Structure 1
Amino acid sequence: MPPQRDSDPDGSLLEFDEVTVEEYMTTDVDTVAPDAWVTDVVDRLKEGSQYSGFPVVDDDRTLLGYVGAIDLLERPGDESVATVMSRDPVVVRPEMTVKNAARVILRTGHQFLPVVDGERTLLGTFSNGDAVRSGIERTTPTKVQSTREMLERSHDATVDVSERGVSVDALVPTQREVYADELEGRKYELQHELAEPLIVVSSGSERFLVDGHHRAMAARQLGIERTLAYVLTVPEGDVGELGFRKVARVAGLESLADIDVNDYLQHPLIEKTDPTQEG
């Protein structure tokens, strides 16, 4: 079952210690040349760079250094990047494990690390977001497998699994309530491509949302029409009423619009204080 990169040739899950930076690094990297002007780099940062700086490379993409916002403070705009860049940035190799690269990020406090080969050719970058994503993509298949085994055991049927986009509005929830503060966190994850896929059970024309109600509601609030999901398909007609169908029916749930958003911070029993008022 997907994702294939999490499995070795005999189909068993790889140990997390074996997952490498190469599998999760970002290869589309913004860089600057050493002869670029400081003012040009400042303008690019103002335009909204994902990170607060750039790797500095030559025409052959050899890593020469790194220039960050802190390197540009109080520097004349007509100076070259070569005169202000850090010349010995912390780097990682593609064969390094994700676990060890994440430790380097934690210890150095960097947002991302350049990934280079033995010739210091820039291959990509590995960020704290990539580290989070690697953990997400290894956790979700375990949840999927557990759900699949439960369905096959309960209904004596073969359940197919695929990874694909699903229509958010077509999902039938199996949970009555979500929490407003957690929705904000899921929105951030969706906007930064850190959210794990939903888990959906498909039976006939119905799509039951099994895992990811906060993610689905966050997508709905953001106006995202389709989102990635692991879809477990139960053969129509071969089984009786699914437990998920019964849960939704008993709870009166037909769409995400039926889910209650619990903003417990607005609860009348929670006392609010005004920090501008002295007690």
Structure 2
Amino acid sequence: MTPIEFDDVRVDAYMTTDVDTARPDEWVTDVVDRLKDGVEYGGLPVCDDDGRLLGFVGAIDLLEVPGDDPVEAVMSRDVVVVRPEMKVKNAARVILRSGHQFLPVVDDDHELLGLFSNGDAVRSGIERTTPSKVESTREMLERTHGASVGVSERSVVVSSLIPTQREVYADELEGRKYELQHGLAEPLIVLSYGCETLLVDGHHRALAANELDVERMQAYVLTVSPDEVGELGLRRMARIGGLVSLADVTVNDYLTHPLVEKTEPSR
């Protein structure tokens, strides 16, 4: 996807559509119970029976409110909303300037279609940059080996990946775990070479997935036939480094490095 194409990406391509809502006549005590169960957005959009957005009720709206009060008595009615056809980049600017963590998405009849969050904005930016990396990797392989390289998108089995990088860093590994747990992880870039799948880009993400027992990850798959190329440079790199599986990758923790010191706490 080129930058120009990304400029045309709409909010409805990234918004969350499975959204829990509250009714205006619902009792406050019932909403409190639902919020205690861990509602993702810290509150609930309030909609009528036809699905039209009337407001939003969050935890702060319910403080010291009698449990038998109706939600419509305490909900916020001044809600910033966006349309599904709005460009992602513009919705991200609204989130940044308004300070909201998410925006309800409504149609012309004010019917709630979904929510667009700051996490969706981040995810859209991640997915924008990946194709350029895929293309540059493909061009490098074709230039180096004089072979045609196919490109596809599919999920791959994490445990079957052959790494081409000897070490990763503990702090970045934790960051990739967070991204995986919140649906923000960038796809891997792998190379299919006969019966083998070489990991080209995304070693931290793959190791994080392995530690979290994630069996499969989305990936851009570059394909080279062994009939065209006797031995790929990346395959040779893995062989020389003794890299057979993700278990062979070393996790480097700067905080335990012998050249990193910790000061003693003052007494």
TM-score of the aligned structures, taking structure 1 as reference length = 0.92
Partner of 2:120: 130
Superposed, 1:94-113 pairs within 5 Å as 94-113=84-103
Number of residues of Structure 1 aligned to a counterpart in Structure 2: 267
Q: Match for 2:260: what amino acid?
A: I
Secondary structure, aligned partner of 1:113: strand
CA distance in 2, matches of 1:206, 1:105: 43
Q: Match for 1:199: what amino acid?
A: I
Structure 1 residue 176: deviation in Å? Answer: 0.6
Secondary structure, aligned partner of 1:100: helix
Superposed, 1:10-49 pairs within 5 Å as 14-49=4-39
1:90 counterpart = 2:80:
yes
Q: Match for 1:251: what amino acid?
A: G
Q: Where has structure 1 moved over 4 Å in runs of 4 or more?
A: none
Q: Match for 2:165: what amino acid?
A: Q
Partner of 2:260: 270
Partner of 2:107: 117
Partner of 2:61: 71
1:219 counterpart = 2:209:
yes
CA distance in 2, matches of 1:230, 1:154: 20
Secondary structure, aligned partner of 2:243: coil
The alignment's C-alpha RMSD in Å is: 1.4
Q: CA deviation digits over 1:93-138, x for unaligned, max 9?
A: 1121111111111122212100011221111110011101111111
Identity across aligned pairs (percent)? 72
Q: CA deviation digits over 1:134-163, x for unaligned, max 9?
A: 111111111111111122222222222121
Q: Match for 2:93: what amino acid?
A: R
CA distance in 1, matches of 2:41, 2:61: 14
CA distance in 2, matches of 1:134, 1:269: 39
CA distance in 1, matches of 2:10, 2:154: 25
Partner of 2:195: 205
List runs of 5+ in structure 2 lacking aligned partners. none
CA distance in 2, matches of 1:16, 1:237: 37
1:142 counterpart = 2:132:
yes
Partner of 1:229: 219
1:157 counterpart = 2:147:
yes
Partner of 1:168: 158
1:245 counterpart = 2:256:
no
Partner of 1:62: 52
CA distance in 2, matches of 1:234, 1:17: 32
Q: CA deviation digits over 1:170-228, x for unaligned, max 9?
A: 11111111011111110011111110110000101111100000000001111112111
CA distance in 1, matches of 2:4, 2:68: 51
Structure 1 residue 69: deviation in Å? Answer: 1.0
CA distance in 2, matches of 1:182, 1:101: 29
TM-score of the aligned structures, taking structure 2 as reference length = 0.96
Q: Residues 274 and 79 from structure 1, CA distance in 2 versus in 1: closer, same or farther, beyond 3 angstroms?
A: farther
Q: Match for 1:214: what amino acid?
A: H
